[in-house]
Amino acid sequence: MILTDTHTHLYVEQFDEDRTEIVQKAIDHNISRFFIPAIDSTYYPAMFDLEKKFPNNIFLMAGLHPTHVKDNFAEELNFLKNILQERKFYGIGEIGIDLYWDKSYLKEQQVAFRTQITWAKENNLPIIIHCRDAFDEVFDILEEMKGKNLYGIFHCFTGSLDQARLAISYNMKLGIGGVVTYKNGKIDQFLNQIPLEHIVLETDSPYLAPTPYRGKRNESSYLINVLDKLVDIYGLTPIEIARITTQNSIDIFKI
């Protein structure tokens, strides 16, 4: 059985004390593929270092996280444009719109989102969407830029059934993580109406740890708890869910 964590920030400071052990622990639980989204330019050295330590398991993405779109966002985008030309990345992410923490940079976030989608199309790469309190704003841009060369993952999907179907209509897989295990998460109530072919697994570690670890540091090995919940929801075996969701990740990332 091979499991894929399609979204994990293993390079951030929360793992500085035990990063190698955390990655190896996940590998020991059959989680052997880790897709690593970017945040901003300051994190790439740590991302590259992680890739060097686990070259067969770590697959890097490049992007500017919407909560890091600030006054210097043009400089950040220029950095991103250059680094995309220097080496291989497996996706553009995480990108999108976040209006939960700060609404004052909405226009800048929209510009950054459109720009990065354009680069993803030009490089035939998937996009990894971050959306918080911004479904309408995200869908407006997806509608504007839709097409066969627009595809990717709607990371940490927490919307409604209708929003799930709309995301899928834009060639997005749904990234399902710890929220599906929460009593108030709601997506577990309709997820069985979404064919598993549209689902990928993720942790978003160190954030959004699944039950029974909610409120603690998340880690990639906890993907097993997400898998177990999907076993309950879909009535399939862990091996079947692992096979289908990992194949979905292969279809998206081309590896």
CA distance 24 to 40: 26
Q: Who's near 55: CB < 8 A, 6+ residues apart? A: none
Provide the pLDDT for residue 166.
98
Provide the pLDDT for residue 107.
97
pLDDT tens by residue, 151-174:
999 999 999 999 999 999 999 999
Cis status of the peptide bond prior to 212, with omega within 30 of 0: yes
Q: What is the chain's mean pLDDT, rounded?
A: 97
pLDDT tens by residue, 139-149:
999 999 999 89
Provide the pLDDT for residue 56.
98
For the entire predicted model, the pTM comes to 0.97
CA distance 67 to 54: 28
Domain count, the chain: 1
Q: pLDDT > 90: what percent of the chain?
A: 98
- Over residues 29-50, mean pLDDT: 98
Domain that holds residue 62: 3-253
Torsion of CA 28, 34, 40, 42, to 10 degrees: 40
Q: Which residues pair with 175 in a beta bridge?
A: 200
CATH of the domain at 140: 3.20.20.140
With DSSP H G I counted as helix, E B as strand and the rest as coil, what are the percentages for the chain, rounded to 5?
Answer: 50, 15, 35
**CB 230: neighbour CB atoms within 10 A?**
25
Asked if residues 106 and 140 have their Cβ atoms less than 8 Å apart, the reply is no
pLDDT tens by residue, 101-119:
899 999 999 999 999 999 9
Cis status of the peptide bond prior to 66, with omega within 30 of 0: no
Take residue 21 and report the two structure tokens written for it.
Answer: 């052990």
Coil/strand/helix, residue 158 = coil
Provide the pLDDT for residue 74.
97
pLDDT tens by residue, 4-32:
999 999 999 999 999 999 999 999 999 99
